[in-house]
Amino acid sequence: MLNISMLKTIKAMLTVLLIVSSSAAIPVFANEQQGQIAWQKINGNATLIDVRTAEEFTAGHIEGAINIPFEHIVAELAKLNIAKDTEVVLYCRSGRRSGIAQNALIEQGYTATFNAGGLDTLMSTR
């Protein structure tokens, strides 16, 4: 038979398990939602930019993407004469570099940028 101490321990363990499992589900949903939004924009003819290195781009990328390494994003978009209100979707390997690129574009007045995150995650939501 279970005593009160054992029941309290089981209750505490179940509470921790519930908290951990519910918090783990949130990022998956957020990534899925982020990917769905990105694909809506891409399918709506947004300019798609892969901000990884040329080597990473050559190893595999989304069809139609332009490769501009994140460090050169502002200068290259200016060279390409892309208007600051053009819908631009950025991605990289994990979302970190595309986030840096997005911030740089926002600082320069670009108003319609979207960080789609990492390539693998983005492809899994297609």
Catalytic positions are 92
Q: What is the DSSP string of 17-68?
A: HHHHHHHHHHHHHHHHHHHHHHHHHHHTTPEEEE-S-HHHHHH---TT-EE-
Which of these, 112, 119, 123, 106, lies nearest to 50 by C-alpha position? 119
